[in-house]
């Protein structure tokens, strides 16, 4: 059975809920136990079944089961945001004296966590070039515990050779983590050597810009228990409604993603041919430097891509962005709506790789609006850019 079919029903157990197709939203803190003996028994396996709201409810378990199916891993742990998933996974495996290899193109708040929090806890981070591949062996140290990947890279979209990195990391005794938010459904992390995959479910899984949610998935029972124990120790407890929205969004993920990707490819190709544009950063484009790796490792794409304009004054770029009808200015992505952000300047920090765009850079999310309408919006935007603001 195809994954697209399996995730329609993954984690749902109508027989437990009077036949209801979707699991109910459990609003729970206290769980009542029938006897002291039952309380003691549940304490022996605190993460199985209902013990206390913070450890999980049937809504949690349904979401976690469904995302594990999506990712192709052993089992998942839900968190209150994508960033909480990333920090929760890192904290489960790093302690004072350990070394972390972090991809230079990581989501910026991930980088900030390494610099501001992990450093204070005695964990040393080395950033590495996203295109390093098997060359990461040279950066491995005896105390390197985690190699963290994100592919394509945040804002600049470099595709990583995850299987080569994973092989080198494992040879050096480290585990491999991946922020797989862009590759939801289309990149199978565990088949490519990843041990822990994190989804910012806020993006495509929720898919409607109305909830914050993260999910960590582990390759094996041992890794899962480490993640779950650590996340539980920190007291993370994602909201019941949010988990339900994640589960609901997941059911339509394949059909939404196909549309997002088709529209993005059409817009990316069109933008590539425009005189105002220097480069389009979207691995499905044949012209993209990461295209071959993307084709080898991904079964599809999503609606998120970057654009580097030819040199232009800031006022002209601002006029282009301010005047869009459909591409709204806002952070996040993966919802039904088209979005754009300027990425020039301090929002892109690179210390281990080169980033020298010819002109201003932007990030677009192609939403579910009609592609003709979106292209017209871009065309009018490029006219504003040409008029100079
Ligand atoms: C948005 C994002 C996150 C963080 O997710 P939140 O739910 O906003 O905390 C992590 N990684 C990537 C690649 C993202 O785009």
pLDDT digits (tens, 9 = 90+) for 104-129: 999 999 999 999 999 999 999 999 99
Mean pLDDT, to the nearest integer, of 249-255?
97
Residue 347 pLDDT class (50, 70, 90 cuts): confident
pLDDT beyond 80 at 160: yes
Which of 85, 184, 202, 236 has the most ligand 1 atoms within 8 A of CB, as the residue to mutate? 202
- Is the shortest distance between the CB of 118 and ligand 1 below 6 Å? no
Atom 5 of ligand 1, residue of closest alpha carbon: 82
Instruction: Give Cα separations from 263 to 186, 201, 257, 268, 284 (angstroms).
Output: 16, 21, 10, 8, 12
Dist. CA 227 → ligand 1 center (Å): 19
In this structure, the number of other CB atoms found within 10 A of the CB of residue 356 comes to 5
The closest of 372, 366, 156 to 268, measured between CA atoms, is 366
Residue by residue, DSSP assigns 261-312 as HHHHHHHHHHHHTSTTEEEEE-TTSTTSTTHHHHHHHBS---SEEEEEESS-
- In order of their start, the domains of the chain are 3-251 (3.40.640.10), 254-387 (3.90.1150.10)
Dist. CA 82 → ligand 1 center (Å) = 5
CA–CA–CA angle 145, 150, 153 (5° rounding): 140
CA of 130 to the centre of ligand 1 (A): 18
Across the chain, mean pLDDT equals: 97
Closest C-alpha to 367, from 255, 257, 260:
260
Residue nearest to atom 6 of ligand 1 (CA): 82
Q: Which pLDDT belongs to residue 389?
A: 67
What is the C-alpha separation between 209 and 332, in angstroms, rounded? 8
Q: How far is CA 184 from CA 71, 106, 148, 329, 365, in A?
A: 8, 16, 17, 23, 15
How far apart CA 282 and CA 301 sit, in angstroms, is: 9
Q: How far is the CA of 83 from the centre of ligand 1 (A)?
A: 6
Query: How much of the chain exceeds pLDDT 90, in percent?
Result: 98
Report whether residue 200 contacts ligand 1, using a CB cutoff of 6 Å: yes
Closest atom of ligand 1 relative to the 150 alpha carbon? 13
Q: Are 57 and 50 a contacting pair, CB within 8 Å?
A: yes
Pick the residue whose CA is nearest to atom 7 on ligand 1: 82
Q: What is the pLDDT of residues 292-324, one digit of tens each?
A: 999 999 999 999 999 999 999 999 999 999 999
Output the six-digit token pair for 294. 């993307």
């Amino acid at each position: 059975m195809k994954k697209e079919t399996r995730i329609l029903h993954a984690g749902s157990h109508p027989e437990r809920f009077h036949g209801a197709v979707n699991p109910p939203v459990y609003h729970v803190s206290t769980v009542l136990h029938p006897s002291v003996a039952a309380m003691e028994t549940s304490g022996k396996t605190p993460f199985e079944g209902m013990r206390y709201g913070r450890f999980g409810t049937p809504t949690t378990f349904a979401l976690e089961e469904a995302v594990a199916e999506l990712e192709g891993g052993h089992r998942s742990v839900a968190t209150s945001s994508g960033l909480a998933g990333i920090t929760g996974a890192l904290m489960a495996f790093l302690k004072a004296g350990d070394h972390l290899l972090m991809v230079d193109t990581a989501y910026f708040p991930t980088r900030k966590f390494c610099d501001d929090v992990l450093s204070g806890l005695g964990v040393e981070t080395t950033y590495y070039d996203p295109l390093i591949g098997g060359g990461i062996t040279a950066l491995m140290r005896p105390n390197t515990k985690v190699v963290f990947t994100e592919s394509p890279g945040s804002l600049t979209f470099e595709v990583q050779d995850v299987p080569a990195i994973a092989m080198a990391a494992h040879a050096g005794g480290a585990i491999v983590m991946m922020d797989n938010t862009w590759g939801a459904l289309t990149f199978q992390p565990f088949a490519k050597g990843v041990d822990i995959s994190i989804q910012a479910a806020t993006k495509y899984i929720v898919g409607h810009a109305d909830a914050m949610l993260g999910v960590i998935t582990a390759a094996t029972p041992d890794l899962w228990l480490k993640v779950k124990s650590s996340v539980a120790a920190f007291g993370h407890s994602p909201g019941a409604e949010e988990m339900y929205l994640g589960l609901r969004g997941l059911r339509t993920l394949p059909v939404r993603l196909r549309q997002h990707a088709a529209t993005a490819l059409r817009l990316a190709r069109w933008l590539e041919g425009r005189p105002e544009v220097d480069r389009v950063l979207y691995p499905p484009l044949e012209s993209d430097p990461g295209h071959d790796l993307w084709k080898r490792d991904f079964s599809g794409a999503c609606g998120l891509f970057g654009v580097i304009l030819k040199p232009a004054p800031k006022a002209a770029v601002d006029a282009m962005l301010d005047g869009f009808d459909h591409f709204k200015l806002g952070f996040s992505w993966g919802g039904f709506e088209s979005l754009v952000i300027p990425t020039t300047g301090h929002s892109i920090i690179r210390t281990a790789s080169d980033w020298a765009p010819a002109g201003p850079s932007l990030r677009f999310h192609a939403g579910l609006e009609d592609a003709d309408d979106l292209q017209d919006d871009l065309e009018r935007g490029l006219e504003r850019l040409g008029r100079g603001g």
